[in-house]
Amino acid sequence: MGIRHQAVQWNGAKIVYDLYMLAALAAFLAVFMIIGLRPHPNGHQADAVVLMIRALGTVSFLMLTITLMIGPLARFSPRFLPLLYNRRHLGVLTFLVATAHFGLSLIWYHGGGPLNPFVSLLVSNPLYKSPQGFPFEIFGLAAFVILFLMAATSHDFWLKNLSASVWKLLHMLVYAAFGLLVLHIAYGALMTEKSVVYPILVFAALALVAGSHLAAGLREWARDSGMKGVKAPDGWIDVCAPEDIPDKRAVIAPLPTGDRVAVFRDGGKIYAVENACRHQNGPLGEGCIKDGVITCPWHGWQYRPEDGVSPPPYEERISTHDVQLSPLGRVFVRVKKNPLGAAGKFASIEGAAS
């Protein structure tokens, strides 16, 4: 939490995770090069630089595919949440590998000539109207620009200054970048390959990423559509019975405003807070109460359940909602948020351990 300046935010777990990533990357490149440099039966040997360009492009696409799979997987199963916690470093490493692919390609194919390599990249193939010879590099260049913007603004400093909503909007461009990379491969490498394995692999990556995102997104859309039926004539909504909320966990309830509220139970007390974390709008209600504070499942940001304020030295705040128990033993939550930092009214369950 917080926005203290630090170029890369590391801790022990992230260092171990990064070392695993680097080891896997090195292993992939080594195996790719060893297999690719074996002499061909007809005596032809692949060029090492061209092979390295292919290896870097392949592994960066694979890394982006894995990065994009983490979000929907974490939506479907909390077992994948640790990957979400470390996703930003994987994304930045993907950008660095893509930069190596882009830089080496630029030098190898467009360097050394009379034209500036960047100009050469744009004008060397003018077949923009040809479906067969279309300059596939343009798709890759557009995707690279998006990845650059994302990597440049990946630090929490930018998240804080752009606001979570704008930052998230900017980073959703990665979906367009993925589509552009699929086209980059289709109009580039797939045009010269004889084997059907490569188109199948690209289609599989596209189907996995797009399918899982759409499945997770449409499920949320259906939940949002269900909110239309929520009525709160007196400004309060009936959420559930107290025993429906597992201890230290929450039930997420829709509000007529379109927002969601997370109703937590901590022993004998029931609290309600807005469901969006201040950091990246993560679903707080899918987190838990740890050491007395609500902990976001995405990156571990924490808030006190009684007033929605992060424990010192942090200062982030989320809104609380008032809670009351009806005589029939139902948990009611007030639709109107309390001002930021203001303590909400909580409900006590008689006889429950607090």
Partner 1 sequence: MRRPQRRLHVLMWLAVAPAAIAGVYLALNNAPAVPAEPIADVIVTDTEQP
Among all chains, which residue has been given the structure tokens 């949002």?
Answer: 224
For residue 187, state whether it binds partner 1 (rule: CB under 8 A).
Answer: yes
One-letter amino acid of 264: F
Nearer to partner 1, 25 or 182 (CB): 182
According to DSSP H, which parts of the chain are helical?
12-36, 48-76, 81-85, 87-110, 117-123, 137-152, 156-162, 164-171, 173-187, 189-192, 197-226
Q: Are 78 and 217 in contact (CB under 8 A)?
A: no
Show Cβ contacts of residue 72 under 8 Å, excluding neighbours closer than 6 positions: 212, 213, 215, 216
Question: What is the size of the binding site for partner 1 (CB under 8 A)?
Answer: 38
Is residue 258 a contact residue for partner 1 (CB under 8 A)? yes
**Could you tell me how many residues make up the chain?**
354
Contact between 175 and partner 1 per CB under 8 A:
yes
Q: Which stretch binds partner 1 (CB under 8 A): 103-111, 184-192, 299-307, 316-324?
A: 184-192
Binding region for partner 1 (CB under 8 A) out of 104-112, 181-189, 232-240, 326-334: 181-189
Please calculate the CA angle 271-272-274 and round it to the nearest 5 degrees: 150
Q: Identify which of 266, 316, 227 has the alpha carbon closest to the alpha carbon of residue 1.
A: 316
Residue 244 binds to partner 1 (criterion: CB under 8 A): no
Instruction: Supply 69's token pair.
Output: 């799979």
100 vs 212, which CB is nearer to partner 1? Answer: 212
Site for partner 1 in 194-233 (CB under 8 A): 194, 199, 202-203, 206, 210, 213-214, 217-218, 220-221, 224
> Is 182 an interacting residue with respect to partner 1 (CB under 8 A)?
yes
62 binds partner 1 (CB under 8 A): no
The smaller minimum CB distance to partner 1, of residues 146 and 294, is found at: 146
Residue 169 binds to partner 1 (criterion: CB under 8 A): yes
The answer to whether residue 102 forms part of the interface with partner 1 (CB under 8 A) is no
State in angstroms the smallest separation of the CB of 14 from partner 1: 23
CB of 256 vs partner 1, minimal distance in Å: 12
Token pair 């200062």 is found at 315
Do 1 and 316 form a contact (C-beta atoms < 8 A)?
A: yes
| CB contact at 8 A, 312 and 2 | no
Q: Which value, in Å, is the radius of gyration of the alpha carbons in the chain?
A: 25
- For partner 1, the binding residues in 147-166 under the rule CB under 8 A are 165
Q: How far apart are CA 132 and CA 143, in angstroms?
A: 21
Q: Considering the rule CB under 8 A, would residue 170 count as an interface residue with partner 1?
A: no
Q: What is the closest distance, in whole angstroms, from the C-beta atom of residue 31 to partner 1 in the complex?
A: 23
- Cα gap 293→315, rounded to integer Å: 14
Contact between 125 and partner 1 by CB under 8 A: the answer reads: no
Query: C-beta of 180: minimal distance to partner 1 in Å?
Result: 8
Question: What is the closest distance, in whole angstroms, from the C-beta atom of residue 326 to partner 1 in the complex?
Answer: 28
Give CA–CA dist 52/30, Å, rounded: 10
Asked if residue 72 lies in contact with residue 63, where contact means CB atoms within 8 angstroms, the answer is: no
- The answer to the question of residue 336 lying near partner 1 (CB under 8 A) is no
Each residue 277-316 as x (binds partner 1 by CB under 8 A) or -, in order, gives ----xxx---------------------------------
Quote the least distance from Cβ 137 to partner 1, whole Å. 14
Stretch that binds partner 1, among 6-14, 52-60, 186-194, 307-315 (CB under 8 A): 186-194
Helix (H) or strand (E) holding 116: none
- Identify whether the C-beta of residue 254 lies closer than 8 Å to the C-beta of residue 263: no
Under rule CB under 8 A, residue 44 binds partner 1: yes
CB 54 within 8 A of CB 184: no
Give the interface with partner 1 as residue ranges (CB under 8 A): 44, 131-132, 165, 168-169, 172, 175-176, 178-179, 182-183, 186-187, 190-194, 199, 202-203, 206, 210, 213-214, 217-218, 220-221, 224, 258-259, 276, 281-283
